[in-house]
Amino acid sequence: MSAQSLPVVLFGAFDRHNFGDMLFPHIAARMLMGRDVRVAGLVARDLRAQGGHRVQALRQLHDRAVDVLHVGGEILTCDAWDAAVMLQSNHDAQRIIASQQYDRSEWAQHRLGTRELAPYVVSKDAWPRATRVLFNAVGGVTLDDCDDGMRNEILAKLFRADDISVRDLHTQALLAKSGIEARLTPDCAVMVAELFGDTIRAHASKQAVARIREAAPRGYLAVQFSADFGDDPTLDQIAAQLDQAAHAQDLAIVFFRAGAAPWHDDLACFERTAARMRAPSVHLFDSLNIWDICALLAYSRGYLGSSLHGRIVAIAHALPHISLLHDGDFARPCKQTAFAQTWEDVDQPVAVRVNGIAEGIDHALSVDPARLKQTAERLVALCRDGFQTTVSALAD
């Protein structure tokens, strides 16, 4: 079998419900048209009902000659404990986290079947039949915060990689400091409108999205935030700020989940927020299908939330957007600000704290639509070029 005809294993965290991770293999497979593509995670999962893939466990492919392509995400700094917990059901995850009977490291290694500290980063040493190992637009903004053992493992794996691109300047600088040269490429989710516009338009007419569009004829803001915003005082502030924005902008508020895996989004948080609100048009979007979520965003008047890929899909559709972050995220690098500072206009509104939501929405909605369209088009072109460089490495 020639190197060109080897199967390409798309590897990443698309074995759990997270919006961006589940989009990655769709986009990469479309851009690798003509190649034999396999989709693998740490465990086998069937997420097709939510618009994802039937994912194979990576270890099932160890006996084959393949190329391995990491297709994105903040995978460089996802440790074994976090990975293993996020692969549980929410009920099991809460029980495991609360229990004191587990040695975290030992439990995670047992659940994942590996002793690697950074299991979403593949090493040629651990997989000798991997002809080439490549990284496309990955992130690792907290690499310097990892303990020495994990950080050294990650760097050793990257030193042996055949090609590396990262999605933000901060990650690029951290790797350069350790002697690893990485190209800069936008997250491939910037391609979603370009490559899957027909799919998204079709889902906009299906019941989940159509009922929202009918209920909000003057338009709506798509809102999402992770479960760690879920304490009562914070939800009080979010509700008051969204009420203010809804009144000022004459729009409905629609809450959606960008991830249902543990440590992602919690529908109960949105229900509790909606119950506190006085705005006349507040809705809960309950679909977890990633194409429904794309359609919800595409037909909105804008996006506010903590998900990086909520932001990126809004960018792809040239829509107003602003990230909602915790106070601590303004004092240290985080993936949302790192991406925005790398790829968006310098005066584009980036992020707000909870007490600045209404003002931030007003600022985001005031951005010239032509500039948003230019940014979307520019990132599509840059992503195509960057991915083509990766594909050329596969063809060497």
Q: What is the DSSP string of 300-355?
A: SSEEEES-HHHHHHHHHTT--EEEE--GGGGTS--HHHHHHHHHS-TTS--EE-GG
Confirm if 172 and 76 have CB atoms less than 8 A apart: no
- At 342, the amino acid letter reads T
CA 185, CA 375: separation in Å to the nearest integer?
Answer: 14
- Please, which pLDDT band fits residue 394 given cuts at 50, 70 and 90? confident
Domains of the chain: 3-185 (3.40.50), 191-379 (3.40.50.2000)
- pLDDT confidence of residue 371: 97
pLDDT digits (tens, 9 = 90+) for 127-185: 777 789 999 999 999 999 999 999 999 999 999 999 999 999 999 999 999 999 999 99
pLDDT digits (tens, 9 = 90+) for 333-391: 899 999 999 999 998 999 999 999 999 999 999 999 999 999 999 999 999 999 999 98
- pLDDT confidence of residue 2: 47
- pLDDT confidence of residue 261: 82
- pLDDT confidence of residue 396: 56
Please, what's the b/e burial string for 33-70 (b: 16 or more CB within 10 A of its CB; e: otherwise)?
A: eebebbbbbbbebebeebbbbebbbbeebeeeebbbbb
